[in-house]
Amino acid sequence: MASAKPPGDSRARRATAELILTERRAANLRRARVIVPVMMLIHAGWGLVFTGIDVKPGGEEAWRDNLVHLHMASVAFTFALSAALHLGRQVRALDRIRDRAGELLCGYGLTVGTLAAINTLHYNFGLTAWIMAMVITAVATQLRLVTQLVLQLGATVAIGVACLASSPELGTQIRNLSNVTLVATISIVLARILDRAFTRELTARRAIETLNRELERRVAEQVGEIVANSERIDALNRQLASQVQARSLELSSALERLAAAQHGEDTLRAGTVIAKRFEIRRLLGVGGMGVVYAAFDRVARADVAVKLVHGNVAGVASAYRFLQEASAAAGLSHPAIVRVLHVDVTDEGRLYQVQELVLGRTLDTWTLRDEPIPPGVVARLGAALADALACAHEAGVVHRDVKPQNVMITEREPGCRLLDFGLAKLRRSLVDSDLSEAGAVIGTPQFLSPEQIAASDTVDGASDIYALGVMLYQCAAARLPYDAAAPIQWLHAHVHDAPLPLPASVGEIAAPIMACLAKAPRDRPTGRELHATFTAIATALEAPPLTAWAARDDQNETRRIAK
What amino acid positions are annotated as catalytic residues? 401
Phi/psi for 248 (5° steps) reads -65, -40
CA-based R_g, the chain, Å: 49
State how far the Cα of 472 lies from the Cα of 451, in Å rounded to an integer. 20
E strand or H helix at 523, and its extent?
none
State how far the Cα of 392 lies from the Cα of 328, in Å rounded to an integer. 9
State how far the Cα of 129 lies from the Cα of 276, in Å rounded to an integer. 108
DSSP 429: G
Alpha helices in 52-100 (DSSP H): 59-87, 95-99
152 near 134, Cβ under 8 Å?
A: yes
DSSP 430: G
- Burial of 503-527, coded b for 16+ CB within 10 Å and e otherwise, reads eeebbbbbebbbbbbbbebeebbbb
State how far the Cα of 502 lies from the Cα of 517, in Å rounded to an integer. 12
CA-to-CA dists, residue 151 to 105, 107, 186, angstroms:
11, 6, 15
State how far the Cα of 449 lies from the Cα of 140, in Å rounded to an integer. 95
State how far the Cα of 471 lies from the Cα of 467, in Å rounded to an integer. 6
CA-to-CA dists, residue 450 to 98, 261, 455, 490, 491, angstroms:
102, 34, 8, 10, 8
352 near 346, Cβ under 8 Å?
A: yes
Q: Name the nearest CA neighbour of 24 among 101, 91, 87, 83.
A: 101
Give the largest Cα separation in the chain, rounded.
144
Query: Residue 382: which residues within 8 A CB-CB, separation 6 or more?
Result: 468, 472, 509, 512, 513, 530, 534
Q: Name the nearest CA neighbour of 152 among 115, 106, 117, 104.
A: 106
